[in-house]
Chain A
Amino acid sequence: MSSKSPDVEALIAQKYRHGFVTDIESDSFPPGLDESVVAAISRKKNEPQFLLDWRLKAFRHWLTMREPVWAHVRFDPIDYQDISYYSAPRAKADAPKSIDEVDPKLLATYEKLGIPLHERARLAGVAVDAVFDSVSVATTFKDKLAKAGVIFCSFSDAVRDHPELIEQYLGSVVPPGDNFYAALNSAVFSDGSFVYVPRGVRCPMELSTYFRINAAKTGQFERTLIVAAEGASVSYLEGCTAPMRDENQLHAAVVELVALDDARIKYSTVQNWYPGDENGVGGIYNFVTKRGECRGRNSKISWTQVETGSAITWKYPSCVLRGEGSVGEFYSVAVTSHRQQADTGTKMIHIGRNTKSTIVAKGISAGRATSAYRGLVKVLPSAEGARNFTQCDSLLMGPHCEAHTFPYMEVRNPSATVEHEASTSKIGEDQLFYCLQRGISAEDAVNMIVSGFCKAVFKELPMEFAVEAQNLLSVSLEGAVG
């Protein structure tokens, strides 16, 4: 008799807008992994001996390790011999010297993804390093940044041009044997981004890396290293997408951040890897190790992440608060729908005196998805006066999804203050009806309610990307009104 109810389930049906494949000739290794593959990657990049040794050591260690099983995710075993560990668009002769020499197909790909690589284009205030499968294909605004003394380049270029910095900092935050995926990455990483902001320099523009997986049957193993010297500051953002494929693809990245005295690093992620279809077929396994070390006094590292993609997400961007008075922050929105699984959170390790950390984690689950927050706050005996505030909120949409919270606390200094707040709520039928009764469509209402829920995190994103994140969220939760 009355009209059909707007169904929350239907509202969250997801459409993936970056699922196209770029038809480009590529130079790929056959699937398989042994020491010769590790050596071949190193050779491709003309790496110095120390790096090859480093890789091989990591590889040998990896062989002794097992995949972690404690995360609240389920998937079939990964066959590491069935993955290609290197795939790059075939270069004409040499690597392109400027944007104008980059293959137009690649430029068109990034254009289509909304990341124009021409410096005069829309993201005029943002320098971009574009990583396509295993290699960086372009980095914009290098010259302008160089004038300010900032090094921003692909990891491969950094190995060639600044080997001393790489040798000094690589693996200094995430040691090669840190965990199974980090060890694998250390052995086979192919490219990524490198940032060095020298003493006293405020990086004059936003830096970003855009990761794109294109080739089938490949894994992407990139490495990002950001060093902010004394008094330096930098804001960095990464974005990620991949084509829609029926098989799962592995993305195992490592990100290391180092902040020296009074330095500030703000690292934001908008992760939109292909999540798989509504039945859970395909999608990226996003098994990532991200860690920052506040090495200097009064330094600050802030992680902000908006995670909407990937079939499975396993990541815990963390802060090691070593310097006295250093500050770590983690702001996260993780959206899972259909059959997506996310186990994500952070670790805040308080070592220095008067260190401070803030954790704000928002999980949104819909469909048959599961989302877990896993966080560790560890206060060592040396961390006199340490303070932490943690807030985790979960929002459930529909009756079939799950949200879990696993907060761990280890406090070994009695002067520490650790606060934890958690909540779980449903997108209430009451909230939805309230909006409908005010004439607002069900779709707009859900978007509004979800954005409201995420507001505390979105306000931490750089301005240019807050809007993008908002849009991404609406796309992720978009669907026909049933």
Chain B
Amino acid sequence: MLSIVDLQARIAGKTILNGIDLEVRPGEVHAIMGPNGSGKSTLAQVLAGREEYEVTAGRVDFDGRDLLAMPAEERARAGLFLGFQYPVEIPGVNNVYLLKAALNAKRRAAGQPEVDAYEFLALVREKMRIMQMNESFLSRGVNEGFSGGEKKRNEILQMLVLEPKLAILDETDSGLDIDALKVVAQGVNTLRHPERAVVLVTHYQRLLDYVVPDHVHVLARGRIIKSGDRSLALELERRGYDWLLESKVA
């Protein structure tokens, strides 16, 4: 589904990604871990099509298409979703309005008719129940005055409504208390499907207790320096990252 070969990228002349190789197949959940500044968020942003990053080498294939040649909105319509680490507020723009515009953009791109307003509302309500969100959400502005936890829930809600093929969740677990973490995890697990894939970018292994990954990768200095299964995350939890970084230098 997603095939990354030797991806290199920089911002403001500074190289952040140093040759990433990663293969994500349908149905899989991958966790990408690593110390601060290792390039995790950059990888997520580059895949989503953020312009500030300049891709200097490599290629990315998404569902048989050249991902890097597509503008951000096309990537989204093709089924790539980024759960933002810091979701922005858009004052005065209603949450539901944005979400409906997003879903319709995707449906139009797929040659489907726009969603009926009544059905849409029912769909959003159903997903809101999964995310344990308050009814007042429907009338509020996009992330306007939301707490950190509410913003993250909103990201997952959007993901559930848009049903992407590939969801990249950038530190969706950070800043959540344990109850909110469980709700978010439940949302992610709801999306799991043999034809969909999830990439979790995270600092901590605690999310992985609830969303069990098939593969765990450690990113450091813009490269994947180690891959393994779930046990790798547990080992990182116990030992930190230093042993990996040192062994690499040695």
Contact = CB atoms under 8 A, between A and B. Distances in A.
A441 B53 CA distance: 20
Interface of B: 48-56, 68-73, 75-77, 81-82, 84, 87-88, 90-93, 97-99, 101-102, 105-106, 109, 141-142, 158, 162
Given A430-B88, A440-B102, A444-B101, A452 B141 contact: yes
Given A437-B49, A438-B158, A441-B105, A448 B93 contact: yes
Interface stretch (A38-46, A79-87, A207-215, A453-461): A453-461
A453 B76 CA distance: 25
A436 interface: yes
A451 B105 CA distance: 19
Interface stretch (A1-9, A25-33, A218-226): A1-9
A456 B55 CA distance: 41
Contacts of B109: 439
Nearest to B76: A439
Contacts of B97: 448
B92 A436 contact: no
A452 to B, nearest CB: 3
Contact of A449 (B54, B90, B102): B90
Interface residues of A, number: 29
A452 B90 contact: yes
B93 A1 contact: no
A439 B93 contact: no
Given A451-B92, A452-B141, A455-B92, A436 B55 contact: no
A24 B106 CA distance: 49
Contacts of B91: 452-453
Contacts of A6: 71
Contacts of A442: 73
11 contacts: A1-B55, A2-B53, A5-B51, A433-B72, A434-B88, A436-B49, A439-B162, A440-B102, A448-B97, A451-B92, A455-B92
A5 B88 CA distance: 19
A22 interface: no
Given A439-B109, A440-B102, A456 B92 contact: yes
A437 B93 contact: no
A3 B93 contact: no
Contacts of A437: 48-49, 72-73, 75-76, 81-82, 84
Contact of A3 (B70, B77, B102): B70
Given A437-B72, A438-B76, A448 B49 contact: no
A431 interface: yes
Name, among A2, A451, A455, the residue most crowded by chain B CB atoms within 10 Å (CB to CB): A2
A171 interface: no
Contacts of B48: 437
A466 to B, nearest CB: 14
Nearest to A449: B90
Contacts of A376: none
A3 B76 CA distance: 14
A351 B153 CA distance: 51
Given A438-B162, A441-B105, A431 B90 contact: yes
